[in-house]
Amino acid sequence: MQAQHQHGEAQRLPVFALLALAMTGFICILTETIPAGLLPEISSGLAVSPSLAGQLVTAYAAGSLLAAIPLTLLTRTWSRRAVLLSTVCGFLVFNTLTAVSSNIAITLVARFLAGASAGLAWSLLAGYARRMVVPSLQGRALALAMVGTPIALSLGVPAGTWLGALLGWRLTFALMSGLSVILIGWIMLAVPNYPGQSAGQEMPLRSVLLIPGVRSVLGVVLTWMLAHNILYTYIAPFIAPAGLAARVDLVLLVFGLAALCGIFITGRIIDTHLRQAVLLSLSVFAVVSLVFGLGATSPLVIYLGIAVWGLTFGGAATLLQTALADAAGEYADVALSMNVVTWNGAIALGGLTGGLLLEHAGTWSFPWALLVLLLAAVAIVVRGEQGFPAASSRSGQSTSN
């Protein structure tokens, strides 16, 4: 059984193993976002201002941004399961440290290192999922491995925030450590092991960036995620003119549930229609932005638009990581670490850009900024045939080369 795990791909989806990867993504997202819903409790517990407590989110993002590429390069020769277990152990240690720390400096360091663990995890998960199955199932495998993200956003974060208010923020972080312990056993039991790359296979970072198609995919990651994060970060002020300021939780729940539907649909079509799915998602999001620009004061328009936006976003990570891994080939892990940096850079830039727009132009400017970014992303896809080929090289294949 172990030999089969190490050297063969499954002819059908290894659901239990892929769900372990999804659980890893779930913990990544939960660890990142939980502080945002518990800022008053954390501020009080650490005796710091809410703005300083908010830097727990910043420190985590900085860890992912700065550590993803170096850690990926450092661990390229390690067995894949050893790297995966290292990331989960990182969450166990640093979430536990966050739960027991009473010093803001120590807490910020723990958050930075937890973010570094997440950066390594995100660069690993897509390639890991793809190695478990034959090429014709790789898109569906990745969609299942990524399902933890929308579940965490739509259900995990509200539940964690509720638990934090009920039981205390420290116990919430301790519970995430408990989930990490369970996940370590799950990985040991169900997730196959694969060797890392030999030293002779290593390619300089710049050379990976110059592989045809890699830059066009990263360009779409930047423009699409920048557009998404401008709106997502400032969703509360955006929906306020429609009289929904007190219903942010419901609006985000609609978004999250629609995103779950989106990732399910993506899993059905990604192996045969990746380019078309990316173009359709971007185009429909652009239409939603236009509708928001014309009618954002209507609650009905907001709810319908949020649902369609969530539907187009649900499969985004799967689509873009699949396109990037296809383009990079055997150097997918390095390319995916660049994706982590680009994605987190777009989150940070989205917060900055959205803040400037909000301060100087108001929320009415958001849809038009989104429209410009999304049209730019569509143009990159249309011109980027190597990153987004018309026909998938994986469709119809049953074995890898």
Which comes out higher in pLDDT, residue 395 or 261?
261
* Cα–Cα distance measured from residue 280 to residue 394, given in angstroms and rounded to the nearest whole number: 20
What average pLDDT score do residues 199-212 get?
Answer: 75
Q: Give residue 1's pLDDT.
A: 39
pLDDT at 2 over 50: no
Whether 136 and 218 map to the same domain: the answer is no
pLDDT score at 395: 52
Window from 190-204, 222-236, 260-274, 328-342 with minimum mean pLDDT: 190-204
276 in any annotated domain: yes
Does the structure show a pLDDT above 80 at 321?
yes
Query: Is residue 260 located within the same domain as residue 173?
Result: no
Residue 48 sits in the same domain as residue 73:
yes
Q: Rounded CA gap, 76 and 389, in Å?
A: 28
Select from 201, 216, 241 the last residue of a domain. 201
* Residue that finishes a domain, picked among 185, 201, 217: 201
Percent of the chain with pLDDT over 70: 93
Judged against a pLDDT cut of 60, whether residue 396 lies above it is answered with no
In this prediction, residues 311-327 reach a mean pLDDT of 90
Which of 75-84, 162-171, 225-234, 327-336 holds the top average pLDDT? 75-84
Mean pLDDT of the region 317-328: 90
Q: Which of 223, 349, 237 has the alpha carbon at shortest distance from 278?
A: 223
Burial grade of 393 (CB within 10 A; 0-12, 13-18, 19 or more): exposed
Print the domain residue range for 364: 205-383
Is the per-residue pLDDT at 3 higher than 60? no
- Asked whether residue 186 falls in the same domain as residue 217, the answer is no
Tens-digit pLDDT profile for residues 279-292: 999 999 999 999 99
302 pLDDT more than 50:
yes
Average pLDDT, the chain: 87
Highest mean pLDDT among 169-183, 349-363, 380-394: 169-183
Summarize the confidence of residues 57-76 as an average pLDDT.
Answer: 88
| Full DSSP string of 24-85 | HHHHHHHHHHHHHHSHHHHHHHHT--HHHHTHHHHHHHHHHHHHHHHHHHHTTTS-HHHHHH
Residue 394: inside a domain, yes or no?
no
Does 246 lie in the same domain as 136?
A: no
CATH number of the domain that residue 272 is part of: 1.20.1250.20
Q: Confidence class of residue 135 from pLDDT cuts 50, 70 and 90? A: confident
In order, the DSSP letters of 333-359 are HHHHHHHHHHHHHHHHHHHHHHHHHHH
pLDDT computed for residue 139 by the predictor: 83
* Pair 93, 151 in one domain: yes
Shared-domain flag, residues 10 and 92: yes
Summarize the confidence of residues 46-52 as an average pLDDT.
Answer: 85
Which has more confidence, 264 or 281? 281
pLDDT of residue 300: 95
For residue 391, the model assigns a pLDDT of: 65
Q: Of 21-30, 162-171, 332-341, which one has max mean pLDDT?
A: 21-30
In this structure, the answer to whether residues 10 and 87 fall within a common structural domain is yes
- Give the count of beta carbons closer than 10 Å to the beta carbon of residue 279: 16
**Mean pLDDT value across residues 35-57:** 83
* Same domain membership, residue 232 and residue 134: no
pLDDT of residue 111 exceeding 90:
yes
Q: Name the pLDDT band for 7 (thresholds 50, 70, 90).
A: very low
Do 52 and 173 lie in one domain? The reply is yes
Residue 146's pLDDT band (cuts 50, 70, 90): confident
Q: What's the full length of the chain, in residues?
A: 401
Domain co-membership, 195 together with 215 = no
Q: What gap in Å lies between CA 105 and CA 296, rounded to an integer?
A: 42
The answer on 229 and 134 residing in a single domain is: no
The total number of structural domains in the chain stands at 2
Calculate mean pLDDT across residues 82-99.
97
> From CA 354, how far away is CA 348, in angstroms rounded?
10
Lowest mean pLDDT among 51-65, 213-227, 279-293: 51-65
Amino acid, res. 12: R
